[in-house]
Amino acid sequence: MNKELQAFKKLLQDHGMFATKPRLQLFELLQQYPALKISELISLLSFHDQATVYRNIKIFEQLGVINRLRLGWESKLELSDLFQHHHHHMTCIKCGAVTTLPEDRLLEQQIAKIVHNYNFVITDHQIELRGICKLCKEE
């Protein structure tokens, strides 16, 4: 079992929740794909009880397991920094493609520097660049 999955199980346990099959399957899918729409997630799951999916997504959000990437009126879900390397995104507003950007140490340092004067402690952050991807630009 990978260590993220173990950490996920422990997090559930610490909150008095069971590591049910749907929860584990949701988590594993989110590990496999960089970002998924809820509809994509549902089509990939072996169980099709949408109420269970929505309920568990809500729990995942409350526990800080996932981030929601806004995509117009829709959104995509991905695992939070707790379960994968910190990174930023580029999202295409036409086709919805999400590109994960490599971590940039200088940028991270710069962010820390900017808030330093405000006596503010960052617990986490997300940067999402929205625009038109290469493929959509060529159309």
Instruction: Please report, as ranges, the residues that interact with Zn ion according to CB under 5 A.
Output: 92, 94-95, 97, 133, 136
Which of 43/131 has CB closer to Zn ion? 131
Nearer to Zn ion, 7 or 135 (CB): 135
Cα 139 to Cα 134: distance, rounded to the nearest angstrom: 9
Q: How far is the CB of 135 from Zn ion (least distance, A)?
A: 5
- Shortest distance in whole angstroms from residue 67 CB to Zn ion: 12
What is the Cβ-side half-sphere exposure of residue 111, based on CA atoms within 13 angstroms?
Answer: 14
Q: How far is the CB of 9 from Zn ion (least distance, A)?
A: 27
The Cα–Cα gap between 50 and 39 comes to 9
Burial class (CB in 10 A: 0-12, 13-18, 19+), 103: exposed
CB 133 to Zn ion: min, Å:
3
Closest to Zn ion by CB, 62 or 110: 110
Distance from C-alpha of 40 to C-alpha of 44, rounded to nearest angstrom: 6
C-alpha span between 57 and 77 (Å, rounded): 9
Tokens of 30: 């989110």
Name which of 50 and 110 has its Cβ closer to Zn ion: 110
